[in-house]
Structure 1
């Protein structure tokens, strides 16, 4: 089946270097975000899946919990981040036609992030990856203005990945999880979608997106829970008096058309994609393929790809389908189709 589909560029897939797996297990993330496992991973396993499913190139990133594993442990964050980003850079250097990578930025440590932006540029990263929050500090927080200003100056591409929602506690205290159903369900099932919405609303209402027009952004899972909330947050922010920035819905749609893309990782068909298209006015030209491997296991990736292909062809023409599989990503990443 996959061999008969167009080839794919996968912008939402993950790598877990051995040192990162060990660091997670040693620092409280053996079952990240309530998942029943921390997946094994190797480049060889990844290539096997890519070859089976006709994925020409995968742009790898570190998934949740990211590389800042322990609140306040700056030394560990620096070590894990540098190891992961160096591993991604080496993998791309050795197999540039198969792998790219998004360099991890260890929020909320601003200085470390600024250092890694420079390292990533020197090491030829494809962009930079954030979690939706760093130990309770959400994207859009003024704390992160220096990071976003630097990325905007560089006309950088960023990939945002959800993580467990957190609330910062009193000064000096550890942040606390803000996921009341976490004892019943893994956070990726529900909370990840809500956290994507929180981060995106905050990026708009803080003025970060308006202030950074040269920034290019990939949102995961078709924007998570954001699309059905779009009219509510824009309407509320402009009609209800308060100390917040009013964001007209036209500004959101304009940003979606100019600087924001959406990946298909997860379960986008049959319903979620219609909410994005009809509620947010997003067309096929802003949509990118994503597998979420290895957190979605190989058999799941293949099953979801079958659903995805059927759903695509029911909604889009052949040119748009080709774009979502590879053309949109090639344009965004500056990747040649003949490589």
Structure 2
């Protein structure tokens, strides 16, 4: 069955060098930056009948060091992904990165990426140097994304905490939160951090205020399905959103109408069922295929594809599986 991969990454030469120069030889506690080339990626696509892959830069993103101009490096990296996509138009599209939490530079990059580079949307991390999606400081960026009817792919990263500026400097610093340091953060912490970001987007009203932004949440909703009713109940009790209505129901509605969810990672045998309970009837219409290649190695990607096939055959009929694997993405991106 044809597949469209909405969650996969590029480690192109310019970005690789930038990451290494910024001290990210082992990003988020992973063993290394994986090898990547368009040719190796296309070979995997042929093996799994993936007709289109939407490339993105993953954690730790493009704002890596105070010693570099984040806006310039983000623009350079987006240009690199654009060039790769133009060189292989039958295989690749790309999500542009934004130099968050820099507001003005991010707003400028939205127009440049859409109008000049051909991006199909934007890849943003759950937090940008300690500023979480849904923070009021990012409201102008989301207003711009809303005006452009943008697609926003949200990817988890390491939890970062912003520190108060010292009396000797006005510059805030941040540091990574690394509990259980003997395990790489993508194993568990990524799932918690993206859940934190989506909760903040819902609780802050960012999703409700920007109805023309379409969100893609990664990794089968992370831990959100287990917590969305608890988050909504607390919001109702504390008076968030006016305090009169059931915020749990409203949050579930927003997830069903405004979000898609990729299935990169390990949705089967268990995780998928919590998400489908939240999405309700027709929930397969909000699901999309993803590999997380090359940070998930090729052999594991192939094995997970087989698990996904088996799991989807048990849950969905042929038309529904076609929606999950390709037609949902085709409609959203106009492919």
Q: TM-score when scaled to structure 1?
A: 0.93
Give the corresponding residue for 1:226. 224
- Does 2:90 match 1:97? yes
- Does 2:162 match 1:157? no
Give the corresponding residue for 1:259. 258
Give the corresponding residue for 1:275. 274
- Does 2:47 match 1:49? no
Secondary structure at the aligned position of 1:83 is classed as: helix
Query: What is the 5 A alignment of 1:155-194?
Result: 155-171=149-165, 172-181=171-180, 183-194=181-192
Secondary structure at the aligned position of 1:268 is classed as: coil
Deviations 1:138-189 (A, max 9, x none): 00001100110000011110100000001100123421222312x1100000
Secondary structure at the aligned position of 1:175 is classed as: strand
Equivalents in 2 of 1:16, 1:52: separation in Å?
Answer: 20
- Does 2:2 match 1:19? no
Secondary structure at the aligned position of 1:37 is classed as: coil
Contact 1:289 1:324 in 2 (8 A): yes
1:80 positional shift: 2.1
CA RMSD, 1 decimal: 1.5
Equivalents in 1 of 2:218, 2:278: separation in Å?
Answer: 17
Contact 2:7 2:54 in 1 (8 A): yes
- Does 2:125 match 1:131? yes
Contact 2:203 2:240 in 1 (8 A): no
* Structure 1: gaps spanning 5 or more residues: 1-5
1:280 positional shift: 4.6
- Does 2:107 match 1:108? no
Query: What is the 5 A alignment of 1:180-329?
Result: 180-181=179-180, 183-239=181-237, 241=238, 248-281=247-280, 283-329=283-329
Quick one: which of 29, 36, 52 aligns to 2:24?
29
Equivalents in 2 of 1:202, 1:161: separation in Å?
Answer: 15
Give the corresponding residue for 2:168. none
Quick one: which of 79, 82, 96 aligns to 2:75?
82
1:112 positional shift: 1.6
Contact 1:262 1:288 in 2 (8 A): yes
Equivalents in 1 of 2:334, 2:18: separation in Å?
Answer: 34
1:243 positional shift: 7.1
Quick one: which of 140, 144, 166 aligns to 2:134?
140
CA 1:259 to 1:242, structure 2 compared with 1: closer, same or farther past 3 Å? closer
1:256 positional shift: 2.0
Secondary structure at the aligned position of 1:9 is classed as: strand
Contact 2:256 2:279 in 1 (8 A): no
Deviations 1:293-325 (A, max 9, x none): 000011010000000100001111111101111
Moved more, 105-114 or 189-198: 105-114
* Structure 2: gaps spanning 5 or more residues: 166-170
Give the corresponding residue for 1:3. none
Deviations 1:70-101 (A, max 9, x none): 2x44x431232112110111122222221000
Moved more, 150-159 or 76-85: 76-85
Equivalents in 2 of 1:280, 1:196: separation in Å?
Answer: 18
